[in-house]
């Protein structure tokens, strides 16, 4: 993506909710080289920061309530979480959790867009978000998969002021034209039970090797490595606990 640090309205963090924190730490350490440290305070509930060369790149955490699916979640930076909540609800979205202070690091909201995709809002105080983007092992793209692309575009452009490229095949989200993500229309190839969702993509040096490493570690390749004509080589993977994520070849962004 064309963003290299958290900016208002842009993706600032990716967070995994998992059913087996220790297994997830091992899996992503092997795949991305992450070194993870779990927050010592009991109130943090096992929240774990993953780092690359000391830079915070993502989080892993035990599922905080029964019935919540194992999944990666994407956070978008806002200046004022309470004001953003009002914008979300006015545009047709709902709030599932928050706003809530997270110690002295920031203020968090879990929201749902009108098409059913869950996302998070983050008002950073002492922690604005990821300290590294686009490098191997770090977040480099976010993708919305939805069955109602028009409704989704209206919602996100209203709430965040995003720009949207005029493409029927793969519209791209941006801030003042700096693209950071895209949108896929879910068609009949997607099982009916799969809801709209945000999918983070992490940069890797070798997509094919990442896919092979995923299967070797007990995960699944959902979309085989492929090279779209107008983008980098990509694959969609699922970790051993069931969380989906994408990878793309670093340095091939267009």
- The answer to whether residues 120 and 21 belong to one domain is yes
Residues 31 and 108 in one domain: yes
Question: Which pLDDT tens digit goes with each residue over 56-70?
Answer: 999 999 987 656 789
Tell me, what's the pLDDT at 242? Answer: 96
Burial of 196 (0-12, 13-18, 19+ CB in 10 A): buried
* Tally of domains in the chain: 2
Tens of pLDDT along 133-163? Answer: 999 999 999 999 999 999 999 999 999 999 9
pTM: 0.94
Residue 212 in domain: yes
117 & 170 share domain: no
C-beta separation of 82 from 88 below 8 A: no
Q: Tell me: do 145 and 120 sit in the same domain.
A: no
> Among 35-49, 95-109, 132-146, 202-216, which is the least confidently predicted range?
35-49
Residue 42: per-residue pLDDT: 52
Residue 59: its pLDDT value, please? 95
Dihedral, CA of residue 77, residue 83, residue 89 and residue 95, to nearest 10:
60
* Span 10-45, pLDDT tens digits: 999 999 999 999 999 999 999 999 998 766 555 556
Mean residue pLDDT of the chain comes to 92
Shared domain for 23 and 113, answered yes or no, is yes
Q: Yes or no: say if 170 and 153 are a contact pair by the CB < 8 Å rule.
A: no
The parent domain of residue 208 ranges over 139-249
CATH of the domain at 240: 3.10.180.10
């Amino acid at each position: 993506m064309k963003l290299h640090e958290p900016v208002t309205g842009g993706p600032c963090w990716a967070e995994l909710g998992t059913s087996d924190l220790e297994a997830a730490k091992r899996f992503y350490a092997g795949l991305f080289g992450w070194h993870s440290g779990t927050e010592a305070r009991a109130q943090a509930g096992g929240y774990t920061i993953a780092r690359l060369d000391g830079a915070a790149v993502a989080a892993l955490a035990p599922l905080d309530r029964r019935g919540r699916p194992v999944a990666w979640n994407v956070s978008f930076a806002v200046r004022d979480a309470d004001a953003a909540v009002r914008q979300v609800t006015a545009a047709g979205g709902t709030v599932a959790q928050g706003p809530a202070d997270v110690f002295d690091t920031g203020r968090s909201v879990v929201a749902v867009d009108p098409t059913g995709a869950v996302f998070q809002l983050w008002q950073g105080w002492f922690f604005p978000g990821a300290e590294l983007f686009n490098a191997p092992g770090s977040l480099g793209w976010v993708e919305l998969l939805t069955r109602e692309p028009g409704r989704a575009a209206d919602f996100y452009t209203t709430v965040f002021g995003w720009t949207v490229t005029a493409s029927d095949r793969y519209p791209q989200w941006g801030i003042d034209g700096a693209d950071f993500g895209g949108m896929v229309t879910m068609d009949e190839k997607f099982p009916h039970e799969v809801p709209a969702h945000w999918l983070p993509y992490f940069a890797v040096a070798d997509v094919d090797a990442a896919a092979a490493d995923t299967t070797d570690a007990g995960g699944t390749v959902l979309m085989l490595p492929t090279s779209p004509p107008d983008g980098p080589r990509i694959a969609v993977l699922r970790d051993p606990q069931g969380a989906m994520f994408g990878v793309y070849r670093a340095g091939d962004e267009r």
